[in-house]
Structure 1
């Protein structure tokens, strides 16, 4: 059975208490966040990938949201990306490939940066 990559990445980000306190990772955009009232957070979403007999190769979008392009850019580069690179410390993760980091604002104007990662994860199959 393949590991739930979204939960794995979300839990890994939130395991750092400094990140969780200021940029908590979650699956959904909080209802209280809007263009007029942006709050800092991170969303995690599997956007592709493949499952093989002994490994899974999930493609995961990690999106950093906040009140300004500068803040989300800095958080993505200095907090979230370094944390993601260390996910290979988990026994089930063999490798991580950072496939992109992009300024990716919402159509309503909310600042957002996206980091795309491809994991190589052990499968129970």
Structure 2
């Protein structure tokens, strides 16, 4: 399975994020709150892969974005409960407001995932 789809399913299953649409792209008509997932780097070996995943939390205000970034970070660390995920590491959590137009509160979470090679 493609890592972005796996992360989407993982976040979609969290009851704390039930009011947060999780997408692989920014919707054309940006809703007030949503989360995007994108693989932005990493390595691929014969037996394992270490994709770098960028999650962006778009919210109504900075406080809501920051709080939800914390929830997403914890949820990503728990991903080791899945059979083919050996480890996850949150590399950074950053305030990254979208300048617009229109401006939008946004936090970014970078996560390194270690998984069995596909």
Residue of structure 2 aligned with 1:97, choices 89, 95, 107: 89
Residues 1:72 and 2:65 aligned together: yes
Q: Distance in 2 between matches of 1:88 and 1:24?
A: 23
Q: Distance in 2 between matches of 1:49 and 1:18?
A: 28
Gaps of 5+ in 2: none
Instruction: Give the match for residue 57 of structure 1.
Output: 50
TM-score (norm 1): 0.87
TM-score (norm 2): 0.92
1:1-125 residue pairs with structure 2 within 5 A?
Answer: 3-19=1-17, 21-33=18-30, 38-77=31-70, 79-108=71-100, 109-124=103-118
1:18-51 superposed Cα distances (whole Å, 9 cap, x missing partner): 31x2112111112221xxxx51110000000110
- Aligned residue pairs total 116
Note the aligned Cα RMSD (angstroms).
1.2
Q: Distance in 1 between matches of 2:60 and 2:26?
A: 14
| Between 10-19 and 88-97, the greater mean CA deviation after superposition | 10-19
- Deviating beyond 4 angstroms after TM superposition, the runs of 4 or more aligned structure 1 residues are none
The one of the two structures with greater contact order (alpha-carbon pairs below 8 A, sep at least 6) is 1
